[in-house]
Chain A
């Protein structure tokens, strides 16, 4: 089959590789009909996530048709159309039982690396480095799905691939980011990063009752996509973000803030340049400029929700501000399995049409071009879909 492989920093290829096969009895093989490139794939593309191996198959946002099932999968049938969540969960450990799906104890076959770095290992992910299990991803014609009786959700035929594909990651991830804000009537939610996750966080915050949503970015196209959802916007390249938020909230600050940027924050302030220098010298891993600013703009007693991916150590983290203002922090990979059915229902009800975020469609074979475009031209490119 054809698959998109990681061959080093800013080097992906489309190669012919062996077809995947059933290895364990709870596996399924899915013929991929649609897959997408995630903003977090760019962290891999740019070499920020350690333990990628040359030849690893990328991709954690995908859906398709079941073509083969292990003998212990009874809730699915060959021919079913499914969306597969990007986190892999066994469904049986204590964490899965608590619905902390992205903290599954049993899905990572080599958790030693994550244990050495973090103390404990979170769940495995598709196509996201050997730190997170080293499973082959879904930017391919076929993919093996472990614990298939627990993850994939069947989708009705009257919804198109493009309507349901983002249930695999960015819609639930944006939704969990908003849910973590514990939104009350009248709340103002400020969201750093109007990329795909930020866009879904904006719409989810409104669904959950936010009175106002403020989106912060510097790409005009992304800000206008945020405005279409009813958000107010701040372009950080020509406005002081803190001052603007104070203006907009009459000095109160945002009730909750969301960092939908993660470890490759851009930013043009001295601290952001300092992060860049340190990261370039391999003296730091993550560049948390957006997170610092979000903490600064959060009101006293407010909530900081972090769906943006961080991998290593943060420098100059304003813990004093967080402590002084009594902030609550919520973060982590999305507990995907909680959200699949409720959000599928939202799509069906017409509460949201996730296709709004798609700006580009490519063939799977054009993946290198798609990665390059998504990485280099974030003005034009917001979400890329690949068709095998």
Chain B
């Protein structure tokens, strides 16, 4: 199952909107230079940063309160080293032995780092119903927890208002491919706060008695880059988990007609 042709094009720098300023490109180039030195995985970087900071503080405490010079300074030095490794994403040790733990899915392509997410689910309803619900974009905030509002404009254009890890972000999007009961592909304005594009595909399942298969695939450039994505992940906002939950809500809504919830029910205080 290959993605539609529209999928790869937007990653090429030439496709970026012509009004994108030179300054933006310079900044991107500088990021890429330092990105070349990165050889530590994203989560490992976060871990290094947290553990390193903790060790540094512990070491200083030992130094000051217990007067343990040797123990305190060596602990603090280890901590500083780890924290630096976390902040820069560069590990001299890895470099020495020729190892890299760079996280491929988060930093896979050379200009700007995009996050790609894809997931399939099975829904016990015919494809035409599923397509029709999704095509009416105003419905989507009901299933996408982070989408506050979608205004449908003309010519397949729409305006999205989304809650991100660092506040509300908005963008305009364009439907780039629309095949009834089969596929809807979209692309956000390349100048958007969060450039993104993707598709949703609807398929009848082979046996036809196990419902339809819905596949969602999209990629986006997170506003705070790779570290923002890592923190979002650490805070339980992993994009693939989000997509999993959004698709589950879509399934519940299409099958059961409502989204199961226990919010708002009574409970005791003990």
Chain A residues near B (Cβ < 8 Å): 1, 3, 5, 7-8, 11, 13, 15, 17-21, 23-26, 53-57, 72, 90-94, 97, 105-109, 111, 124, 133-136, 140, 144, 146-147
Contact = CB atoms under 8 A, between A and B. Distances in A.
A107 to B, nearest CB: 5
Contacts of A26: 256-258
A146 B262 CA distance: 9
B65 interface: no
Nearest to B265: A136
Given A24-B261, A55-B270, A133-B260, 12 more contacts: A5-B268, A8-B270, A18-B266, A20-B266, A25-B258, A57-B268, A90-B252, A90-B255, A107-B260, A108-B260, A136-B262, A146-B260
Given A92-B255, A92-B257, A7 B268 contact: yes
Interface string B51-81: 0000000000000000000000000000000
A17 B124 CA distance: 38
Contacts of A124: 260
Interface residues of B, number: 23
Contacts of B264: 21, 23
Contacts of A17: 266-268
Contact of B256 (A54, A90, A111): A90
Interface in B106-164: 122, 124
Contacts of B269: 15, 55
B187 interface: no
B31 interface: no
B263 interface: yes
B251 interface: yes
Interface string B244-259: 0000100110011111
* Secondary structure type dominating chain B contacts: loop
B210 interface: yes
B211 interface: yes
Nearest to B255: A92
Contacts of A105: 251, 255
A13 B269 CA distance: 10
Contact of A135 (B252, B259, B262, B270): B262
Contacts of B268: 3, 5, 7, 13, 15, 17, 54-57
A372 to B, nearest CB: 17
Contacts of A133: 260, 262
B270 A93 contact: no
> Which 6 pairs of residues, A with B, have the shortest CB-CB distance?
A5-B268, A7-B270, A90-B256, A55-B268, A15-B268, A17-B266
A295 B79 CA distance: 56
B260 A136 contact: no
Contacts of B210: 94
Given A94-B124, A106-B252, A23 B261 contact: yes
Contacts of A94: 122, 124, 210-211
Nearest to B245: A112
Contacts of A13: 268, 270
Nearest to A70: B258
B257 A25 contact: yes
Given A5-B270, A90-B256, A92-B257, A109 B124 contact: no
11 contacts: A7-B270, A20-B265, A24-B260, A55-B269, A57-B268, A90-B255, A92-B124, A94-B124, A106-B255, A108-B260, A136-B267
A216 B266 CA distance: 41
A1 B270 contact: no
A90 B123 CA distance: 14
Contact of B266 (A7, A11, A57, A107): A57
A20 B248 CA distance: 26
A273 to B, nearest CB: 34
Nearest to B264: A23
B267 A106 contact: no
Contacts of A136: 262, 265-267
